[in-house]
Structure 1
Amino acid sequence: MMRELTYYVAVSIDGFIAGPDGEFDRFLFEGDHAADIGKKYQGTAPTVLAEGAGFPIDGGPFDTVLMGWNTYAVGLPELPNPYRHLRQIVFTREHDAPEGSDDVEFTDRDPVEVVRELKAEEGKGIWLCGGGALASVVRDEIDRLALKRNPILFGDGIPLFEGRDYAPAAFRPTGITPYESGVVLAEYVRV
């Protein structure tokens, strides 16, 4: 069985994964949704933050995380190796590896080719962490969506998928879980 690529990300109800200036601090990180979603998607918190909070990092659904440069750079300079418990691949054509990022793979290769190679390898799932530009490039390779829909409107910002020049794709819901916090975990699989 081939590995699956899951786009697991927080998103506003108007479809943005970050605000106009790349901010994401309006997303709800605490509430009744946090423990439940954290358990289901164990290992998706940065290693040092998970360890500091006592969250387990092993046993989750993913062993590989993919990021565009802007998503990766959110943690710099403090977290140059954010998910050291996972294989980390950052797609960039313009940036060099920062100091302390020894366990991170930086590549300027075609993301679609890389994803197809990863899918053919043995292992757990592949997590597309962000962002919207990378998601647009690999959209036809995404097998699952796991969207933490937050009860906020950004009005503008970084969309879930950048651009709108792609063919429609059908996904079937596999779970819709609303929480008192207002967050809704919406999970889908490609039809």
Structure 2
Amino acid sequence: MRKLVYYVATTLDGYIAGPGGGDPSGADYFPLTPDVIQFIVEQYPETLPWPARAALGIDSPGQVFDTILEGRSSYEIGLAAGMTDAYPHLRHLVFSTTLESQDPAVEIVRNGALDHVRTLKTEEGKDLWLVGGGTLAHSLLPEIDRLVLKQNRSVIGSGIPLFNGPFQSHMFQPVDETLLDSGIRVLTYDRA
């Protein structure tokens, strides 16, 4: 069975973006250091948007994921950069009750997110990449099988939380940790 993997960068205090949302990549609290880029290229090259893949000469299919799941706000980061589908090499689903279709290759899921993901997990294929945001991650928390957190050395005090919603308790156990030269730790947890 396919796994739902929440693979995302976070601060020490559990934020995936600053208070204004938007693309935090390259911000001082989420630096794109050479070791982070090398880690992504070696371990998760399919998580790079197509312009980065093209610039790096990556054209292979995904190693871990063949499907990306994201919320409307996360998807709109790509739209703001002029990309209606930043990941054409993956099956692309956006969960939104209000977004109008921007690209025929991008599937809009209007309701029933949890049931939709349960169905996706029974299909043949590689794992499902949950890119964000925090509200979607919270709604899919019962189905998240693995967390892969690129934990940066920063504390920002407020912003978009890793999980944005009411209290619910779920236990995960650590299964791997990679410390990069820049001080960023990649922490992997599986559902306990």
Structure 2 length-normalised TM: 0.93
Structure-2 residue corresponding to 1:49: 52
1:190, 1:97 → 2: CA distance?
34
Matches within 5 A, 1:35-184: 35-77=38-80, 78-98=82-102, 101-166=103-168, 168-184=169-185
Q: Is the 8 A contact 1:3 1:125 kept in 2?
A: yes
* Structure with greater proportional helix content: 2
Instruction: Give how far 1:3 is off.
Output: 0.6
* Equivalenced residues, count: 187
Which residue of the other structure, out of 33, 37, 41, is the alignment partner of 2:36? 33
Give a deviation string over 1:13-42, Cα, whole Å, max 9, x none.
Answer: 110000001141231212323212331112
Q: Which moved more, 1:103-112 or 1:130-139?
A: 103-112
Structure-2 residue corresponding to 1:190: 191
Instruction: Give how far 1:178 is off.
Output: 1.0
Structure 1 length-normalised TM: 0.93
- Residues 85 and 176 of structure 1: CA distance in aligned 2, closer, same or farther (over 3 Å): same
The percent identity for this pair of structures is: 40
Give a deviation string over 1:89-116, Cα, whole Å, max 9, x none.
Answer: 0011112122xx1210012021101100
| Structure 2 segments unaligned to the other structure (5+ residues) | none
| Structure 1 segments unaligned to the other structure (5+ residues) | none
Task: Letter of the 1:73 partner, please give it.
Answer: E
Q: Is the 8 A contact 2:16 2:162 kept in 1?
A: yes
Question: SS at 2:88's partner residue?
Answer: coil
1:57, 1:79 → 2: CA distance?
20
Question: SS at 1:72's partner residue?
Answer: helix
Give a deviation string over 1:107-146, Cα, whole Å, max 9, x none.
Answer: 2021101100100100100000100000000001000000
Q: Is the 8 A contact 2:44 2:62 kept in 1?
A: no
Q: Is the 8 A contact 1:81 1:102 kept in 2?
A: no
Task: Letter of the 1:173 partner, please give it.
Answer: P
Question: SS at 2:167's partner residue?
Answer: coil
1:17, 1:45 → 2: CA distance?
17
Q: Is the 8 A contact 2:40 2:47 kept in 1?
A: no
